[in-house]
């Protein structure tokens, strides 16, 4: 499949599978490993494009399903496309809407044709087919689009995983046939649930379709960390070395480090932004809860050596705690700036040590320290889960993913 993106691997760690590279798109390039800030509704909450650039972001993610409901993909197209609409000049990746089958499960029903959604806005029904998902993403004008897929919450049966794999593979073929824009890259998505052999089988179905990049979906949805790593390794080993690998919805800083060690290149997650709004801050010494009484008179910045705008601007932990307790918007913005900056700094540090040929030893050291001991929040970026009548873990429906 021809595509307007180019991926060049620039260095690989001799001790493992980690690599760093450069992805070139119609709206600029970004280095990998890369973390994409999540802008579900065409905005990364509390931040504007200048904030994002200052924090080190070079590519962001938006959600095709949510934007198709509000303000509408056709309206965005008439206004010049998603880049102009949100004032972001860099690369954009749009998710297809498949994740909403999981996150908005009470409002969705899957068939071989597609996903029948009931809008959380007005109750109207929308049939999201692979063809319709591609049409929406092409109207939005993202640089990278995703095929429609079927993720499964954990636990699930092998029979359910096989059915979702079959459906995801068929949808990938239909998505590929529906593609019309020559200036937009379409990525395939590996599914297969909790079974390593099905992950390899899913990759084997996708590789002959020659997508310009591949994602691994359906992880961090209720399984344990060791299981996540095993499933990712099975998928990554079956994907082409020369094409970018994107792990969807991943995760904590430790998750990113382990995934890069397994050969992953691109990531997204609501964790840095959502946790910031809840007063949880990421540092090289582990996660910090600004709500704690010990910070009430702490004049130090979040991270003493941090170069983010919040820390560099001299805002103290005591002040941020006050803003959080007073529910002031400035507090959410400053803490979001810090967390987004930290995730970008982490990605940059990983690129540095890969180029230096010492990623494996560096990763071992960090994972053995406070960053690796960072408490694991619930899957789905920290929002609590519940079980469906069938026993699957489901996230509560929400007006937006971020």
String of DSSP letters for 127-194: EE-HHHHHHHHHHHT-SEEE------PSS--HHHHHHHHHHHHHHHHHHHHH---TTSEEEEEE--TT
Say how far apart CA 155 and CA 228 lie, in whole Å.
13
* E strands, 225-314, in order: 245-247, 266-268, 280-283, 286-289
Position 217 scores a pLDDT of: 96
CATH of the domain at 149: 3.20.20.105
Question: Which residues are CB-contacts of 1 (< 8 A; sequence separation ≥ 6)?
Answer: 176, 179, 186, 209, 210, 211, 212
First-to-last CA distance in the chain? 32
Render pLDDT for 342-386 as a digit per residue (tens, 0 to 9): 999 999 999 999 999 999 999 999 999 999 986 554 433 333 333
Position 387 scores a pLDDT of: 35
Position 108 scores a pLDDT of: 84
Render pLDDT for 197-209 as a digit per residue (tens, 0 to 9): 999 999 999 999 9
Q: Which range is least confidently modeled, 32-36, 105-109, 165-169, 187-191?
A: 105-109
Render pLDDT for 238-297 as a digit per residue (tens, 0 to 9): 999 999 999 999 999 999 999 999 999 999 999 999 999 999 999 999 999 999 999 999
Say how far apart CA 348 and CA 182 lie, in whole Å.
31
Other Cβ atoms closer than 10 A to 4: 16
CB 175 within 8 A of CB 184: no
Read off the pLDDT of each residue in 335-346 and give the average, rounded to a whole number.
98
Position 400 scores a pLDDT of: 53
CA 345 to each of CA 6, 268, 283: distance values in angstroms, whole numbers, following the listed order: 24, 15, 10
Residue 253 lies in a domain: yes
Taking CA 400 as the corner, what is the angle to CA 345 and CA 126, rounded to the nearest 5 degrees? 130
Residue 345 lies in a domain: no
Say how far apart CA 205 and CA 389 lie, in whole Å.
31
Residue 293 lies in a domain: no
Residue 346 lies in a domain: no
Residue 248 lies in a domain: yes
Q: Which range is least confidently modeled, 90-94, 141-145, 222-226?
A: 222-226
Q: What's the pTM?
A: 0.93
* E strands, 59-107, in order: 60-63, 92-95
- Has residue 21 got a pLDDT over 60? yes
Residue 344 lies in a domain: no
Read off the pLDDT of each residue in 74-103 and give the average, rounded to a whole number.
93
Q: Which domain holds residue 175?
A: 6-275+377-394
Q: Which of 367, 21, 27 is nearest to 184 (CA)?
A: 27
- Has residue 307 got a pLDDT over 90? yes
CB 145 within 8 A of CB 98: no
CB 208 within 8 A of CB 199: no
Interhelix angle 253-261/225-237, rounded to 10 degrees, is 30
For the chain, what is the radius of gyration of the CA atoms?
A: 20
Read off the pLDDT of each residue in 315-329 and give the average, rounded to a whole number.
98
Q: Which of 291, 254, 257, 298 is nearest to 275 (CA)?
A: 291
Phi-psi group of 391: left, alpha or beta (phi > 0 → left; psi -120 to 50 → alpha; rest → beta): left
Total count of domains within the chain: 1
Q: Which range is least confidently modeled, 2-11, 77-86, 101-110?
A: 101-110
Position 123 scores a pLDDT of: 79
Question: Which residues are CB-contacts of 113 (< 8 A; sequence separation ≥ 6)?
Answer: 127, 129
Residue 351 lies in a domain: no
Position 128 scores a pLDDT of: 94
Position 118 scores a pLDDT of: 87
Other Cβ atoms closer than 10 A to 131: 16
Average pLDDT over the chain, rounded to an integer: 92
CB 94 within 8 A of CB 137: yes
Q: Which of 251, 253, 208, 211 is nearest to 232 (CA)?
A: 251
Say how far apart CA 188 and CA 298 lie, in whole Å.
48
Residue 185 lies in a domain: yes
Say how far apart CA 98 and CA 79 lie, in whole Å.
26
Phi-psi group of 4: left, alpha or beta (phi > 0 → left; psi -120 to 50 → alpha; rest → beta): alpha
CA 170 to each of CA 148, 167, 257, 268, 316: distance values in angstroms, whole numbers, following the listed order: 10, 5, 32, 25, 53
The residues annotated as belonging to the active site are 95, 268
């Amino acid at each position: 499949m021809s595509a307007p993106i180019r991926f060049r691997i620039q260095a690989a760690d001799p001790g493992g599978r980690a690599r760093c590279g450069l992805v070139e798109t119609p709206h600029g390039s970004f280095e990998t490993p890369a973390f994409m800030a999540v802008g579900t509704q065409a905005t990364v909450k509390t931040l504007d494009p200048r904030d994002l650039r200052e924090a080190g972001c070079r590519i962001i993610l938006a959600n095709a399903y949510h934007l198709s409901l509000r303000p509408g993909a056709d309206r965005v197209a008439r206004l010049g496309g998603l880049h102009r609409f949100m004032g972001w000049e860099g690369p954009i990746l749009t998710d297809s809407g498949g994740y909403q089958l999981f996150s908005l499960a009470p409002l969705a029903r899957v068939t071989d044709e597609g996903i029948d959604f009931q809008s959380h806005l007005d109750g109207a029904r929308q049939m999201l087919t692979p063809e319709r998902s591609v049409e929406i993403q092409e109207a939005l004008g993202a640089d990278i689009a995703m095929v429609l897929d079927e993720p499964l919450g954990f636990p699930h049966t092998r029979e359910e995983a096989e059915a979702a794999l079959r459906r995801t593979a068929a949808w990938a073929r239909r998505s590929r046939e529906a593609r019309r824009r020559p200036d937009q890259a379409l990525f395939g998505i590996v599914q297969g649930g909790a079974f390593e052999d099905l992950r390899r089988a899913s990759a084997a179905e996708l590789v002959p379709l020659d997508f310009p990049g591949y994602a691994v979906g359906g992880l961090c949805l209720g399984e344990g960390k060791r299981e996540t790593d095993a499933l990712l390794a099975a998928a990554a080993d079956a994907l082409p070395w020369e094409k970018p690998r994107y792990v969807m919805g991943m995760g904590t800083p430790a998750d990113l480090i382990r995934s890069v060690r397994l050969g992953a290149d691109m990531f997204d997650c609501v964790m840095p932004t959502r946790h910031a709004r809840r007063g949880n801050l990421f540092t090289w010494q582990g996660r910090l809860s600004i709500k704690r009484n010990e910070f009430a008179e702490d004049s130090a910045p979040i991270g003493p050596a941090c170069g983010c705008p919040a820390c560099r601007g001299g805002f103290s932990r005591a002040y941020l705690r006050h803003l959080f307790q007073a529910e002031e918007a400035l507090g959410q913005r400053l803490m979001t700036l810090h967390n987004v900056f930290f995730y970008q700094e982490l990605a940059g540090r990983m690129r540095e040590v890969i180029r230096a040929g010492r990623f494996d030893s560096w990763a071992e050291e960090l994972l053995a320290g406070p960053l690796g001991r960072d408490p694991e929040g619930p899957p789905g970026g920290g929002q609590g889960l519940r079980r469906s009548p069938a026993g699957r873990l489901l996230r509560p429906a929400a007006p937006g993913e971020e």
